[in-house]
Amino acid sequence: MIANDIVLRVRYGETDKMGFVYYGVYAQYFEVARTELIRKCGFAYDELEKAGVMLPVISLNIKYLKPCFYDDLLTIKAILKELPGVRISFEYQITNQQGELTTTGDTTLIFINANTKKPTKAPKEMIEGLQMNFTNKISQ
């Protein structure tokens, strides 16, 4: 398991007229959280694309337990429970500055060869980077 936290402040443009963070914005928060988890393991998402691999999201699930608000300082934990094969899955937990769990979710992404458009295995360097950081306990 690899877990990594990022901290992110809610932008005004991310709120809606209810005063809450718009429910579609969390997809971006999750994206930033998983990108930074991968980067901490020595692999930039950008390199993936340069190596001819695309990684589109194939499923997204979110539970909105409490609203998040403008200017909130959110901690977004991304968790990787299994090393990737053709797919990679992340879980997410968002907590606000009061320590309240506001949001949980998960995404599954699929490695695609940019030329053939067919599913492909995760690049070896990426798996190695993840493997080196893999633990059996939460690394928080």
**113 interacts with its own copies by CB under 8 A:** no
**25 interacts with its own copies by CB under 8 A:** yes
Cβ-contact 44, 109 below 8 angstroms = no
**139 interacts with its own copies by CB under 8 A:** no
**35 interacts with its own copies by CB under 8 A:** yes
CB closer to its own copies out of 72 and 84: 72
Active site residue 16: yes
Instruction: Given the residues 5, 16, 72, 106, select the one marked as catalytic.
Output: 16
Cβ-contact 120, 113 below 8 angstroms = yes
Taking the C-alpha atoms of residue 135 and residue 113, their distance in angstroms, rounded to an integer, is 29
Q: How far is the CB of 86 from its own copies (least distance, A)?
A: 15
> Of 115, 126, 122, 25, which Cα lies nearest the Cα of 68?
25
Cβ-contact 24, 68 below 8 angstroms = no
**100 interacts with its own copies by CB under 8 A:** no
Taking the C-alpha atoms of residue 117 and residue 8, their distance in angstroms, rounded to an integer, is 34
What 8-state DSSP symbol labels residue 95? E
Interaction pattern, residues 39-78, with its own copies; x per rule: CB under 8 A = -----xxx--x----x-xxxxxxxxxx-x--xx-------
What the block records as the tokens of 117 is 């458009």
Write out the catalytic residue numbers. Answer: 16
Residues that bind its own copies (CB under 8 A): 9, 11-20, 22-28, 31-32, 35, 44-46, 49, 54, 56-65, 67, 70-71, 107
